Amino acid sequence: MIIITGGAGMIGSIIAWHLNTKLDRDDLVIVDHITHEAQWQNLVHRHYIEYLDRDQLFDFIEDNDEVDAIIHMGAISATTERDFNKLVEANIHYSQDLWGWCTENKVPFFYASSAATYGDGSAGYDDANIDNLRPLNGYGYSKHFFDQWVLRQTPENSPPSWAGFKFFNVYGPNEHHKERMASVAFHTFNQFTETGTMKLFRGTKTGIKDGEQQRDFVYVKDCAAIVAHFFQHKSANGIYNVGTGQARSFKDLSENVMKSMGKTPHITYIDMPEDLRGKYQYFTEANMTKLRAAGYSTPSTSLEDGVKDYVQNYLMKSDAYC
């Protein structure tokens, strides 16, 4: 069996989709702690053998010796989370406990890190060297701490196969529950449908025009395919960027959403909220060299193709869930 923590979340549920549809695996155990009233809908199309609350997982695995891998996507993922004690418990200690169990029981372990670990990008976006990173918020630091902790473990104190994935700006199906933390693609579709325009931030930083803040937008189906590749092929242990290697502007993303809806784009520019100033990434772009060297050669989905699939095959459908 394959255990997916955060399996009712966006990336976790799409990993389950990939395992169901591409690898014909339905022996999945979904672990999560659902708090949003509609999040269960991320699971309605999935085939799996058990659902567990996150607090039930350790009792469950102690009684099961047929675990093929733990894919650990569960975390507090809100960059605005203020309670650092919660981040420590959910994003560090829980992950360390799973790492320890996988080490002791010789089970492969794959986990979600984040591009938020790179902070403002002044130290670059190279996954081969993470020592000098300075995250901008507690969430990013909690992920960075665990990455550093992992790299200090000896082979004897590590699972037989493991990888951490620094996901960049993920968009795609099954993110309805994320509310403010949902992608700009999701917000564009809803705002434009309701108001006829999409609000983007003004430049607010020297040299950056309105709406021209750039991120490495990666389609969630690509993220799932990369995780599945490591599960299948047991590539070199390490921490890997998961992006496209090409930064695009929020304006590009929003305009592509509106065009995919068959509409003429319309954007309104607004000031950035105070709680984001000084904690905002104006540019991200994944260095993909290490991932390619590890044997993953599938080209990234283009922004145009990813947005078109997301909008036309999910957001515009009566059943928008993958």
Phi, then psi, of 222 in degrees rounded to 5: -65, -40
Six-digit token pair at 271? 């000031």
List 86, 178, 199, 234, catalytic entry: 178
Question: Residue 104 contacts by C-beta under 8 Å, 6 or more apart in sequence?
Answer: none
First-to-last C-alpha distance (Å) of the chain: 22
The rounded distance, in Å, linking the Cα atoms of 186 and 172 is 8
List 139, 141, 219, 314, catalytic entry: 139
314 given a catalytic annotation? no
CA torsion angle for 285, 286, 287, 293 (degrees, to 10)?
-150
139 given a catalytic annotation? yes
The rounded distance, in Å, linking the Cα atoms of 273 and 181 is 14
Q: How many CB atoms lie within 10 A of CB 271?
A: 9
Q: How many degrees, rounded to 5, is the angle at CA 153 between CA 11 and CA 66?
A: 55
Question: Residue 61 contacts by C-beta under 8 Å, 6 or more apart in sequence?
Answer: 3, 67, 70, 101, 105
DSSP 119-171: TTSTT-S-TT--TT---SSHHHHHHHHHHHHHHTS-GGGS-SSEEEEEE-EEE
Provide the annotated active-site residues: 139, 178
